[in-house]
Amino acid sequence: MLNFNITGVFKKLETGPVTFVTSAVYVIFLSMDKKLIEESKKYLMNTYNRFPIVLRKGRGMKVWDSTGKEYLDFVGGIAVNCLGHCHPKVVIALQKQAQRLIHVSNLYHIEPQIKLARLLVENSFADKAFFCNSGAEAVEGAIKLARKYAKDHLSPDRYEIITAHGSFHGRTLAALSATGQEKFQKGFEPLVPGFKYVQYNDIDALKKALTDKTCAVMLEPIQGEGGVKMPSETYLKRVREICDEHRLLLVLDEIQTGIGRTGKLFAYEHFNVEPDIMTLAKGLGGGFPIGALLAKESVAASFQPGTHASTFGGNPLACAAAVATIETLLEDGFLLDHCRRLGKYFKDSLDRLKKDFSSNIIEVRGLGLMLGLELTKAGGAIVESCLNRGILINCTSGNVLRFTPPLIVLEKEIDSLIEALEDILAR
């Protein structure tokens, strides 16, 4: 079903006047969608509150649903599609690699995996990389590596990791246990032991939480899922100092902030700190699933053959997509520069919006193209109004509109979003 080419119909619906033919086609597609959505509810576990549209095509900042309706995408697959939808470099890299070799396992050396590791090492604090398939899997790896390092170098009963309230580290059991938000953990107890939560941005709380069992501190440089919360100017630097004083590892979870999202390749570069371990995923494959764990040599050495593994991790296809993504992102520094400029333009626009609607908006936060708008009440209705107007946005933490568009977003596209928000807030 729905496997015929509908590009022509898209064109007609995008450009032509709505003739009898196109409106008849529209009605047919709507009824096909209705059936698909019914099947979605019938066959898929009910883990997501999905919007009632079926997305079938994407290019750059835009996606289209199967009726041909166009949307400006300010979600970007939740900070994943950093180069936009179907970027030609990523598409071609995937096509070429798919024809050559799709999977062989890590029993052998894999060229795109080696290339990707070199790219990441040469452009970060790290000396070594380990590849996996998702953010949560990268976090699991980070937790295991931190524990193993402590066992190897410090003491057998140093295993506790301190994380922050409001953090988000993923949905697998250990990543969920590391996540400092009860609402995600409820119903899945008993959690994995060995995690302690402290207030984000509170250095004294961190100091008080340290015990002779602590082995690491894990933080997001900017809390994403928790509502785009910024660290204070000196927070991460102070955390680094405390880690050094107490021989703790600093793990930065850059799954959302990494790969250019904040205007630098990695967010830690803004704050003058370097982690010992870093997790990546989301934007890394330009839309293709891949996760990574990066570490300093001395820490990475605690993983030896047999200590950690992943069948699909570093798969040729995923690594080819990631190499194409990073190479494109770093070409001439153009895209990172664009991200910083457009991020500022976007934030200034949101700040103006806040001035005009001070009774609806509490705060504008974020860096680069990871921005949040905290509302005085729940944001779901605004997300829905935007969807109806052909703009995709996301709401996190109940009342924070989160914007994580592709890094190629243009001023006029930001203007369209701001106009829509003005209009919606004015009602």
CB nearer ligand PLP, residue 112 or residue 224? 224
Nearest distance, CB of residue 9 and ligand PLP, angstroms:
34
CB nearer ligand PLP, residue 68 or residue 275? 275
Give the contact letters, 107-146, x = binds to ligand PLP (CB under 6 A), - = no. ---------------------------xxx--x-------
When asked if residue 256 is in the footprint of ligand PLP (CB under 6 A), the reply is yes
Instruction: Identify residue 266 by its one-letter amino acid code.
Output: F
Three-state SS string across 46-101, please? CCCCCCCCCEEEEEECEEEECCCCEEEECCHHHHCCCCCECCHHHHHHHHHHHHHC
E strands along 107-159, which residues? 128-132
Instruction: Check 125, 253, 288, 403 and give the catalytic one.
Output: 253
**What is the torsional sign of CA 152, 153, 155, 161?**
negative
Nearest distance, CB of residue 46 and ligand PLP, angstroms:
18
**What is the torsional sign of CA 349, 352, 356, 357?**
positive
Nearest distance, CB of residue 78 and ligand PLP, angstroms:
7
**For residue 406, which phi and psi values (nearest 5 degrees)?**
-50, 150
CB nearer ligand PLP, residue 68 or residue 76? 76
Nearest Cα to Cα of residue 27 among 38, 13, 41: 13
Nearest Cα to Cα of residue 294 among 325, 243, 254, 321: 254
**For residue 130, which phi and psi values (nearest 5 degrees)?**
-130, 135
Which stretch in 40-48, 115-123, 166-174, 356-364 sits in contact with ligand PLP by CB under 6 A? 166-174
Q: Which residues does residue 395 pair with via DSSP β-bridges, in sequence order?
A: 401
- Answer yes or no: are the C-beta atoms of 384 and 315 closer than 8 Å: no
| β-pairing verdict for 160-164 and 195-198 | parallel
- Answer yes or no: are the C-beta atoms of 170 and 163 closer than 8 Å: no
* 253 is known as an active-site residue: yes
When asked if residue 284 is in the footprint of ligand PLP (CB under 6 A), the reply is no
Nearest distance, CB of residue 376 and ligand PLP, angstroms:
25
When asked if residue 394 is in the footprint of ligand PLP (CB under 6 A), the reply is no
Which stretch in 143-151, 165-173, 316-324, 402-410 sits in contact with ligand PLP by CB under 6 A? 165-173
How distant is the alpha carbon of residue 404 from its chain centre? 8
Nearest distance, CB of residue 131 and ligand PLP, angstroms:
13
- Answer yes or no: are the C-beta atoms of 403 and 410 closer than 8 Å: no
CB nearer ligand PLP, residue 69 or residue 169? 169
Pick the binder of ligand PLP from 281, 295, 326, 350 (CB under 6 A). 281
**Residue with token string 């032991």:** 193
Pick the binder of ligand PLP from 168, 197, 266, 303 (CB under 6 A). 168
* 29 is known as an active-site residue: no
Q: What angle do CA 37, 42, 45 make, to 5 degrees?
A: 100
Nearest distance, CB of residue 12 and ligand PLP, angstroms:
37
When asked if residue 220 is in the footprint of ligand PLP (CB under 6 A), the reply is yes
When asked if residue 225 is in the footprint of ligand PLP (CB under 6 A), the reply is yes
- For residue 180, the 8-state DSSP code is B
Instruction: Check 148, 229, 264, 282 and give the catalytic one.
Output: 282
CB nearer ligand PLP, residue 225 or residue 413? 225
b/e code 74-88 from CB counts within 10 Å (16+ = b): bbbbebbbbbbbbbe
When asked if residue 255 is in the footprint of ligand PLP (CB under 6 A), the reply is yes
Nearest distance, CB of residue 227 and ligand PLP, angstroms:
12
CB nearer ligand PLP, residue 253 or residue 413? 253
When asked if residue 404 is in the footprint of ligand PLP (CB under 6 A), the reply is no
Pick the binder of ligand PLP from 169, 229, 261, 365 (CB under 6 A). 169
| Token representation of residue 295 | 């570490």
Nearest distance, CB of residue 168 and ligand PLP, angstroms:
5
Angle between helices 334-356 and 411-426 in degrees, nearest 10: 20
* 12 is known as an active-site residue: no
Name the residue with the smallest CB distance to ligand PLP. 135
When asked if residue 170 is in the footprint of ligand PLP (CB under 6 A), the reply is yes
Q: How far apart are CA 40 and CA 110, in angstroms?
A: 37
CB nearer ligand PLP, residue 80 or residue 361? 80
**Residue with token string 């990523």:** 90
Residues acting as catalytic residues? 168, 253, 282
| Site of interaction with ligand PLP (CB under 6 A) | 134-136, 139, 168-170, 220, 224-225, 253, 255-256, 281-282
